[in-house]
Amino acid sequence: MLSIIQAAGWPIWPLVACSILALALIIERFISLKAGKIAPPRLLDEALAVSRTSVPAPDVVRQLEQNSALGEVLASGFRALNSDPRCTEADLRANMENTGRAVAHRLERYLNALATIASAAPLLGLLGTVIGMIEIFGSQSPGAATGGNPAQLAHGISVALYNTAFGLIVAIPALIFWRYFRGRVDEYLLTLELAAERFARHLNHLRRA
């Protein structure tokens, strides 16, 4: 691997940095976007059950908030009623929506960086290709001996081909995982939105009871 990097020349180092960063982002997103941390399947039903007749105690709300992203959204509704039992339905929904926006921003974290790597890696590979071509043409300068400088010609070809290939090797997985995580986040956001809507109706009924 080191010999390939040496043959590819200095233009490959930005691509190596991009590959390391992309791998770190992919691992981080896999860990952060687990279903248990975002929207546990039975959490909404449990929250509805504990608040069937009244808003639960603050310690229960705190545990719910620390449970997951969905728990954070649901807990914001409980907190709104705890702070003002006579709050309007609009205020209740606004409180939950604000929390939902913060959660959505957290779910989408680093996705733009991964998309940027997917877009920039082929361009960095193209830059290395151009630099390699410059070296190839430099080896064929008018002052060079017949046939040019074979070593410089071979190095220029290596730089051009290795950077092109490495740029694609970095960009393709980054693009695939970005699309995968983008779809996963959209699915989670839909789940959170539907759960929040159902929970808001429940809390509004509880508020008027």
* Report field, pTM of the whole predicted structure over 0.85: no
Q: What is the pLDDT at residue 62? A: 92
Q: What is the pLDDT at residue 12? A: 84
The answer to whether residues 156 and 7 touch, using CB atoms and an 8 Å cutoff, is no
Residue 120 or residue 87, greater confidence? 120
**Contacts of 22 by beta carbon, 8 Å cutoff, 6+ apart:** 114, 117, 118, 170, 173, 174, 177
Percent of the chain beyond pLDDT 70? 88
Percent of the chain beyond pLDDT 90? 59
Q: Which residues of 98-131 are buried (b: 16+ CB within 10 A; e: fewer)?
A: ebbeebbeebeebbeebbebbebbbebbebbbeb
Q: Is the pLDDT of residue 131 over 70?
A: yes
Q: Which of 4-18, 69-83, 185-199 has the lowest mean pLDDT?
A: 4-18
Alpha-carbon distance of 137 to 134, in angstroms, equals 5
The arithmetic mean of pLDDT across residues 92-104, rounded, is 94
143 pLDDT tier (thresholds 50, 70, 90): low
The answer to whether residues 78 and 48 touch, using CB atoms and an 8 Å cutoff, is no
Q: What is the pLDDT at residue 168? A: 93
* Residue type at position 122: P
Q: What are phi and psi of 58, to 5 degrees?
A: -60, -35
Q: What is the pLDDT at residue 209? A: 62
1 pLDDT tier (thresholds 50, 70, 90): low
The answer to whether residues 92 and 81 touch, using CB atoms and an 8 Å cutoff, is yes
**Contacts of 199 by beta carbon, 8 Å cutoff, 6+ apart:** 44, 47, 48, 73, 74, 77, 96
Alpha-carbon distance of 92 to 172, in angstroms, equals 44
Domain count, the chain: 1
The arithmetic mean of pLDDT across residues 77-86, rounded, is 87
Range of the domain at 179: 2-208
The arithmetic mean of pLDDT across residues 147-175, rounded, is 81
